[in-house]
Amino acid sequence: MVQSVNIKALTTLASVVRRPYLAAPHVFLPTVSDVNYPALRDHCGIKAVIFDKDNTLTAPYENSLHPRAKFGLQSALDTFGIANVAIVSNSAGTDDDPGFVDGKEIEDALGIAVVKHREKKPGGLDEVMGHFPNVDDPSQLCMVGDRLLTDIVFGNLHGMLTVHVLPLCTGKEN
């Protein structure tokens, strides 16, 4: 899949320059499998978790769950339930994914929803909120991802709890 330019991230960059704390995660951990999901629910008021896909749950441009993310995704599902765990990707589920072909393949492979959204992260809040009917406020969401300027800024701009994880893979495709 070829990705288009992320205009929203470029325009948000000016905000980050003025307010660099927007790119600072609340929590930093090596992988999604290191997150304590019950603690997020029980002590932070989190009702749902949003994952980035590439390099957070899967290798870049792959649609199968990375072995190092398997425990973490299962823990999130066990804690929040399938209706309260989803993927927000800057490729699958966007206009770069005609007919939602890639999104459907990911949903089938990983067993969780891919939120359809027109605007790439750090945009797309309306679609995310619409996906989780039991979430009344973005502060009840946790955004987990590997990229500071899209995933973490998206969460911080909207008042979510943010968890930054190391990329699962390194190399040219990053």
Distances in Å between the Cα of 18 and the Cα atoms of 61, 120, 161, 163 are 33, 21, 21, 22
pLDDT level of residue 77 (50, 70, 90 thresholds): very high
pLDDT digits (tens, 9 = 90+) for 96-145: 888 999 999 999 999 999 999 888 888 889 999 999 999 999 999 999 99
pLDDT value, residue 4: 57
Of 56 and 121, the one with more pLDDT: 56
The residue behind tokens 């359809």 is: 116
pLDDT over threshold 60, residue 9: no
CB 149 within 8 A of CB 9: yes
**Element (DSSP H or E) covering residue 72:** helix 67-80
Closest CA to 115 of 50, 41, 47: 50
